[in-house]
Amino acid sequence: MRHKIVAGNWKMHKNAEETEDLLNELIAKLPSDVAVEIIVAPTFVNLASAVDHLEFTNIDVAAQNMHQAESGAFTGEISADMLKNIGVNTVILGHSERRAYFHESDALLASKVNTALKHDMRVIFCFGEELKDRQAHQHFNIVENQLNDGLFHLETKDWVNIVLAYEPVWAIGTGETATPEQAQEMHHFIRETINAKYGGDVAEDVSILYGGSVKPDNAKEIFSKPDVDGGLIGGAALNSDHFAAIVNAI
Ligand code: PEP
């Protein structure tokens, strides 16, 4: 069901002690009575301790990636079963850094999505155009293709476990944010694209997050747009005051 979500992607930041410190700060500073789902995604090695640490809080834990295979000779990789087994039920897939640095294609992501859903995990599926695509006025085509190739093989029933995160690559970690109007325009397009494929119920029920240099001073305006259901936060998620301010901006 569509609802407000603020998720923090910690990327390759924070060792075990720093993870515990940041979690303690977040527990102290984040509101416990808000109608917004709060998620943090620490690194793989700190997921189990984060799940334990957050057990009696309203903060959920997500993984930043996982492998598509059930198990096997894939040195350095982590499976859906391993995540579920330590109490992680949500996984971020398709982040632009995975696409760019680890060459994850839409076809590969589609198979990761399938594996996650098979294990009853929820997927935060990231996608978005590069600067050159927007400059060439190809951003709608690019986004439509990413949805088509990564997710549109799914059945209607699968969409209860899908959260979308539109993240224009040119706005990630750059300080350059899409204007609230640009975010709304694309989120509306995404909902219309889903409507055309799956119908109004799926389109209205899916939560669509915006990601790309969301900060305490721009969050409120972005989140006020009707098709923006929250944010996927990178840099600002590493500062408990900033992350709490963003959650409170919903
Ligand atoms: C991200 O990495 O998903 C992201 C949105 O990063 P930042 O907020 O730092 O732009």
pLDDT digits (tens, 9 = 90+) for 181-217: 999 999 999 999 999 999 999 999 999 999 999 999 9
Under 8 Å CB-to-CB from 178, ≥6 apart: which residues?
Answer: 168, 171, 186, 210, 212, 222
Give nearest CA residue, ligand 1 atom 8. Answer: 234
Residue 224: predicted pLDDT: 96
Specify the pTM. 0.97
Nearest-CA residue for ligand 1 atom 3 is 234
Measured CA to CA, the distance from residue 143 to residue 153 in angstroms comes to: 16
Q: Is the pLDDT of residue 1 over 90?
A: no
What pLDDT score does 229 carry?
98
Catalytic residues: 95, 167
- For residue 128, CA distances in Å to 43, 89, 173, 183, 197 come to 23, 24, 14, 11, 19
Structure confidence by residue, pLDDT tens digits, 49-88 = 999 999 999 999 999 999 999 999 999 999 999 999 999 9
Helix (H, G, I), strand (E, B) or coil at 166: strand
230 CB less than 6 Å from ligand 1?
no
- Cβ contacts of residue 56 below 8 Å, gap of 6+? none
If 0-12 CB within 10 Å is exposed, 13-18 middle and 19+ buried, where does residue 34 land? Answer: middle
Identify the CA nearest to 250 among candidates 2, 1, 6: 6
Hey, what amino acid is at 220?
A: K
Phi, psi angles (nearest 5°) of residue 162: -115, 130
Cα 103 to ligand 1 centre (Å) = 19
pLDDT above 90 for 177: no
Confidence of residue 176 (pLDDT cuts 50, 70, 90): confident
Predicted pLDDT at 210: 97
Query: What is the reported pLDDT for 142?
Result: 97
pLDDT digits (tens, 9 = 90+) for 130-173: 999 999 999 999 999 999 999 999 999 999 999 999 999 998 87
Dist. CA 72 → ligand 1 center (Å): 32
Q: How far apart are CA 162 and CA 90, in angstroms?
A: 10
Q: Note the pLDDT of residue 173.
A: 79
| 8 Å CB contact between 198 and 159 | yes
Using the atom order of ligand 1, give the atom closest to the CA of residue 95: 3
The DSSP 8-state label assigned to residue 206 in this structure reads S
Question: What is the spatial distance between Cα 123 and Cα 127, in angstroms, rounded to a whole number?
Answer: 12
What are the C-alpha distances in Å from 44 to residues 33, 83, 244? 28, 9, 23
Measured distance CA(30)–CA(184) in Å, rounded = 26
The token pair that represents 185 in the structure block: 């325009």
Cβ of 167 closer than 6 Å to ligand 1, yes or no, is: yes
Q: Give just the sign of the alpha carbon dihedral 110, 60, 48, 238.
A: positive
Q: What pLDDT is recorded for position 178?
A: 86
User: Ligand 1 within 6 A of 209 CB?
Assistant: no
**CA-based end-to-end distance of the chain:** 17
CA distance 143 to 53: 37
The per-residue pLDDT for range 96-142, each reduced to its tens digit, is 999 999 999 999 999 999 999 999 999 999 999 999 999 999 999 99
Tell the burial category of 96 from Cβ atoms under 10 Å away from its Cβ (0-12, 13-18, 19+).
buried
Whether residue 235 has its Cβ less than 6 Å from ligand 1 = yes
